[in-house]
Amino acid sequence: GENVEQHPSTLSVQEGDSAVIKCTYSDSASNYFPWYKQELGKGPQLIIDIRSNVGEKKDQRIAVTLNKTAKHFSLHITETQPEDSAVYFCAASSDSGGSNYKLTFGKGTLLTVNP
């Protein structure tokens, strides 16, 4: 089955700096890669996603890049703010047939943005 590795497990940056979180996946059939943000005591919320036919996607201060050949994808947050502090999860999805998309999650990165 799919295996998703996420690094680093913790990341501390100064406000205004950039943050990068990296994930690798094992199943070449995976074709959808979402990123979720989880604030303390809340459920994961989708912040950005990318499909395998796209190399990069941006949404304001957040961007995701995908390298299909190397099987890795990354989340980039620019001009970080204290409210960006949260746990971030990457995931990879493949279709097992019949729209049975199965999400496999990384173990998460705790991002702390220091004022």
**Binding flag, residue 108, other proteins (CB under 8 A):** yes
Q: Give the residue, chosen from 12, 79, 107, 114, that forms a contact with other proteins under the rule CB under 8 A.
A: 107
**Residue position matching structure tokens 């998460």:** 108
Task: Give min distance, CB of 62 to other proteins, in A.
Answer: 16
**Binding flag, residue 105, other proteins (CB under 8 A):** yes
**Binding flag, residue 109, other proteins (CB under 8 A):** no
Q: Give the residue, chosen from 46, 56, 61, 114, that forms a contact with other proteins under the rule CB under 8 A.
A: 46
DSSP string of 38-84, one letter each residue: E-TTS--EEEEEEETT-SEEEETTEEEEEETTTTEEEEEE-S--GGG
- DSSP H or E run through 27: none
State the distance between the two ends of the chain, measured CA to CA, in whole angstroms.
41
**Binding flag, residue 62, other proteins (CB under 8 A):** no
**Binding flag, residue 106, other proteins (CB under 8 A):** yes
> Residues touching other proteins: how many (CB under 8 A)?
24
